[in-house]
Each structure stands twice: as C-alpha cells, then as structure tokens.
Amino acid sequence: MDEQYPEFRGDMPTNPTLSELFVKNKMRYCSLELSPNKPVSYDVLERMKIKFCSVIWLGNQDKEPAEIGSLILAKDLISRGYVVLLHMTARNNTKVSLSKVLDHAKFIGVKNLLCLRGGSPECSLEASKYDFPHVPDMMNYITKNYGNYFDMCVAGFPYKHPDSKTIDDDMKYLKEKCDAGAKYIITQAGFSYDIYKQFLKTLRKHNINLPVIPGVYVIHSVVDFCLLKKLCKVPQDDPVVEFVKNNKDKDEEMANFGLKLSSEIVQNLMHDQDFMPPHIFSMNEFRSVEEFLSKLKG
C-alpha cells in the first residue's frame, strides 16, 4: 500500500474497527446498510445517531478503485466521522482487482469488511472460473496479504442459505467462514424475533460462537417484501408470506403491518444482550427509517 501511495504515507484518516467501536460505545445504537447508487441524506443520518454504516459493493473489475461508487461513498462517510463496513464480494474480484481495491480501501481509512460470495448473475458460474470461488478463499487471501488490519464479518441466513441442502450443511460452511478469520456474523433479514433466536441457538449448537448482528428490514409494501423474500430466502410456510398473499392489494395495511412487525422485532433484539444491536437494511429510504426509529424510541 505504501508503495502505491507514497505521497500520502502517514496521512490516512482514522476509522476504528467494529471491535474498537463496540468496546468504546456501550449504548445500543442501530446501524444502517447504504447503497452507493442512491442519494444519501446526511442531515437525516446525523439525526438518527447512527454509529456505523455498511456500504453495498457495486464494484467492477474494469474500473479503477477511485471511480467505484462503493469506495467513493465509503470515503465520504469516513470523512464525516462514520465507521464504515465495506461489503466485499469474492466472485466479483480477481487477485489483482481485490488487491487494488483493498489497497485503496486501506488508503481511505476502511478497516471493516463484510465478506460475501457475490450474488449477481456473473457470480453464478462454476467455481473453477474464479480466483476466489468461496468466501473463505478470499478471506485467507486478505489475511495473508493484510494481516489483521481489517475486521472481517460474514453473512448468516436465519432461514438457511439457499445453496445448502440442510441446516447442518449451512452451519458447516458458515463455520468455515468464521474459522477463516471472521469477527462478527451479520444476518439476512428475518421476519420474527423467534427466527433470530432459533438461528442463534443453531449457531451455538454447532460451536459457532461469534457475536451476531441481526439484520432487519422494515417492510413498506408488497414489492419490498417480494424482493426481501427472494433475497433472504423466506420459506413459503412463513406466516408473513401468508399475510402478504392476503393483503397484496392493500398498501396501507402492508405498511402498517411492516412497521408493527419490525418494531416488535427490533425492540426485542435491542433488549436481548445475546445479540449485537440490529443492522437496518435501509435501501437509502432515510425518512421512513428515521420515522421508524423515532416511533421505536417513543
């Protein structure tokens, strides 16, 4: 890194790791996931007292790191004092592109990575097509080349990873990611507090003892839920699926249902010391998230 940016040596911004943040801040504040392809309302973000933000990876191997939206947003957030967790996908990167991205991420102050396989269509080829076919491959590369500089997090699926045939298989692969150097697990969204508790119980049963940051999404509409259902692999027999089917043409009922459901989930998670404070998947809908958090506090 120093060789690539010699003129900036010793002049990097300071941004703590999540481990340092959680030790320093005893208050249980929610965090937000942000997208680089939508505007960020910094005035609203400041009012919400958010401690850290994750930034979705929308990178391209053909772009220079300084031109990638995810890194531009990460740099802006860090300059404003926010702790950043940068999403990093294995199958979207080669060894060359990953090194360039991580060198630049280190230069702008990023110290936290959420290591993911990658979900775009080009990430669905056979494993032999990639430098990093699986998340542990990328994590081992990062550790080999960057030591312990980055706090690495991995994803967990409360309803089971879609590519895993059984829960035991899912836990086996998740444990491999944890053993590759992860510090935290951040979950996909679940749609009941009991789903998160069962997931935590399953983790501990399989000797996975990392802290868990539960991911939560506030349902605003049927379109929202259908997107999240596909992303989070919510099973067809989940009670929320039945409610959505019966109210698919009732926007107001859906919004009220989503607000009530998410409020109950987050309130329970905020008071449960077995979990880290929840991470809200915002889709950059700042006003609605602010309203949700305001009602939650009230």
Question: Which of 93, 233, 119 has its CA nearest to residue 170?
Answer: 233
Q: 184 - beta bridge partners?
A: 153
Q: Is residue 79 part of a domain?
A: yes
Q: Mean pLDDT of successive 10-residue segments in the chain (298 residues)?
A: 42 78 80 93 88 88 89 96 96 94 96 92 87 97 97 95 91 97 95 94 97 88 65 70 75 79 90 94 83 73
pLDDT digits (tens, 9 = 90+) for 43-70: 988 888 888 999 999 876 678 999 999 9
Query: What is the domain range of residue 65?
Result: 6-297
Q: Is residue 272 part of a domain?
A: yes
Residue 184 is part of a domain; what is its CATH number?
Answer: 3.20.20.220
Alpha-carbon distance of 136 to 182, in angstroms, equals 9
Three-state DSSP class for 151? Answer: strand
pLDDT digits (tens, 9 = 90+) for 121-172: 788 889 999 999 999 999 999 999 999 999 999 999 998 888 899 999 999 9
Q: Is residue 237 part of a domain?
A: yes
Question: What token pair was written down for 67?
Answer: 């031109």
Q: Is residue 1 part of a domain?
A: no
Q: Is residue 194 part of a domain?
A: yes
| Locus of tokens 């951040």 | 186
Q: Is residue 198 part of a domain?
A: yes
Alpha-carbon distance of 159 to 28, in angstroms, equals 25
Q: 53 - beta bridge partners?
A: 32, 84
Alpha-carbon distance of 86 to 135, in angstroms, equals 15
Question: What token pair was written down for 201?
Answer: 């119980």
| DSSP string over 73-142 | HHHHHHHTT-EEEEEEESTT--HHHHHHHHHHHHHHT--EEEEE---SGGG-S-GGG-S-SSHHHHHHHH
Q: Is residue 131 part of a domain?
A: yes
Q: How many domains does the chain have?
A: 1
